[in-house]
């Protein structure tokens, strides 16, 4: 994939005329996809795809287009030649873009991860055997993901990773299920079996008579997956310079110093330890990490090249949407195996089904529980809970009502496969929160 990318990049350079410049972002994958139902393989297939976006630039004018590629260099060169021709025809009719900014200092890079994935038949058999008669439902995706950047100035950046992502649930009945995930770079049978065992114990609890509790304020333990859901909503405009300048960020009170979070809360865009490439579509290199919130207070934001040009500040390699791709929350001091004991009496939330802002200006979110949500007494799971809705501001949940974060964190890879497998990730601890507001 890498040598093919360099070949088509060189071909693009040969197609330029006069003072034209191009930037090119490449996306490719060689993936296996397997769907499970009732612990058995129901659908299996492979996807091999390649594609490139090209931005043809002349002065402050530019035109961008996408080409779906075959992976065969000679055929794809013809497609790219045709794309460049179409873009060139558009340029005279376009206005100048005052916010156009692309990298002109050549900083090439290469990262090729090791392929430590097991043979597909091994992981699939382990999934089937570990299901043990339970209704395991999910999708397994694994293989190589390639990302590349090139421009006519000679810059070449390549990123290739091999990983797997099993997004799965053990289904009990109706809307009762235990949702879980297992993702990484090197499959470990023992680790996966432990996850299935934990899910199995929760399945036993799901078989008990479910409870409905009254709306009110409760002590809650959120697992790392649930924290990833909660913190993830902050990425919807929370960390980008454009949203900050437009005063549309849900973290406006934090940015302006009118509110703060707990000193235990530190959030970073941790590119060095995520699975996203360390370069973006205009050729700028991302730093190893950008600290967004430090000790509960605003620290920095993500700055795309366009925002950098508009507001006359340096870019830090953010993508155009200025959202984190490798969000990392610092660990706390609460041992994970003591979290449910420390919860004492309250609600255990395995993951969040739905999230949205109920009041964006105050960072107030609303959402629903689903799947493995339990009522806990004396540090023990007593019964599953019926679906509940919550409405709470993150300034409380991650502020003065935060009792602690777990010392262990979980690496959660984004399981989205719309168009292509995602390179997004989150590394999150669990969180113990008091006085959390449930409304229905």
User: 109-135: per-residue pLDDT in tens?
Assistant: 999 999 999 998 999 999 999 998 899
Whether the per-residue pLDDT at 333 is higher than 90: the answer is yes
Residue 175's pLDDT is: 76
385-427 pLDDT, tens digit per residue, is 999 999 999 999 999 999 999 999 999 999 999 899 999 999 9
Q: For residue 314, count other CB atoms closer than 10 A to its CB.
A: 9
pLDDT at 215 over 90: yes
The pLDDT tens digits of the residues spanning 337-392 come to: 999 999 999 999 998 988 999 999 999 999 999 888 999 999 999 999 999 999 99
What is the CATH code of the structural domain delimited by 2-206? 3.30.2290.10
Percent pLDDT > 70 in the chain is 100
Per-residue model confidence as pLDDT tens digits over 275-321: 999 999 999 999 999 999 999 999 999 999 999 999 999 999 999 99
d(CA 410, CA 47): 28
d(CA 351, CA 213): 18
| CB-based contact 346:380 (threshold 8 Å) | no
Q: Output the pLDDT for position 165.
A: 96
The owner of tokens 């530190």 is 266
Residue 199 has pLDDT above 90, yes or no: yes
Region(s) of the chain under CATH 3.30.2290.10: 2-206
Kindly report the number of other CB atoms within 10 A of residue 33's CB atom.
Answer: 16
pLDDT at 202: 92
The rounded mean pLDDT for the chain is 96
pTM for the structure as a whole = 0.94
Ranges of H-type helices in 91-182: 120-131
CA 12 vs. chain centroid, Å, equals 31
């Amino acid at each position: 994939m890498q040598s093919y990318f360099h070949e088509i990049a060189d071909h693009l350079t040969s197609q330029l005329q006069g003072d034209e410049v191009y930037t090119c972002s490449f996306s490719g994958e060689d993936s296996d996809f397997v769907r499970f139902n009732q612990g058995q393989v129901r659908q299996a297939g492979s996807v091999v795809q390649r594609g490139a976006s090209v931005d043809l630039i002349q002065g402050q004018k530019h035109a961008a287009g996408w080409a779906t590629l075959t992976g065969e260099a000679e055929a794809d060169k013809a497609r790219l030649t045709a794309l460049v021709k179409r873009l060139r025809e558009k340029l005279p009719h376009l206005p100048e873009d005052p916010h156009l900014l692309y990298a002109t200092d050549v900083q090439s890079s290469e990262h090729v991860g090791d392929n430590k994935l097991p043979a597909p038949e091994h992981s699939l058999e382990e999934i089937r055997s570990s299901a043990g008669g339970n209704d395991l439902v999910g999708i397994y995706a694994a293989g190589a993901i390639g990302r590349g950047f090139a421009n006519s100035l000679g810059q070449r950046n390549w990123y290739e990773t091999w990983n797997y992502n099993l997004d799965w649930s053990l289904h009990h009945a109706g809307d009762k299920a235990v949702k879980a995930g297992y993702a990484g770079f090197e499959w470990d049978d023992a680790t996966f079996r432990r996850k299935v065992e934990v899910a199995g114990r929760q399945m036993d609890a799901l078989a008990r008579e479910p409870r409905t509790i009254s709306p009110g304020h409760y002590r809650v333990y959120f697992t790392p997956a649930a924290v990833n859901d909660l913190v993830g909503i902050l990425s919807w405009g929370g960390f980008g310079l454009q949203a900050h300048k437009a005063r549309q960020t849900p973290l406006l009170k934090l940015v302006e110093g009118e509110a703060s979070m707990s000193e235990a809360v530190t959030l970073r865009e941790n590119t060095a330890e995520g699975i996203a490439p360390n370069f973006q579509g205009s050729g700028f290199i991302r730093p190893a990490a950008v600290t967004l919130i430090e000790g509960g207070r605003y620290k920095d934001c993500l700055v795309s090249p366009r925002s950098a040009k508009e507001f006359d500040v340096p870019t830090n390699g953010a993508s155009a949407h200025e959202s984190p791709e490798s969000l990392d929350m610092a660990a706390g001091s609460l041992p994970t195996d003591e979290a449910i004991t420390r919860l004492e009496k309250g609600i255990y939330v395995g993951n969040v089904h739905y999230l949205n802002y109920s009041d964006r200006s105050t960072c107030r979110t609303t959402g629903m529980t689903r799947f493995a949500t339990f009522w806990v007494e004396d540090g023990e799971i007593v019964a599953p809970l019926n679906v509940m809705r919550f409405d709470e501001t993150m300034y409380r949940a991650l502020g003065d009502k935060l009792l602690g974060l777990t010392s262990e964190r979980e690496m959660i890879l984004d399981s989205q496969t719309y168009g292509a497998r995602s390179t997004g990730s989150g590394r999150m601890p669990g969180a113990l929160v008091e006085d959390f507001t449930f409304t229905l």
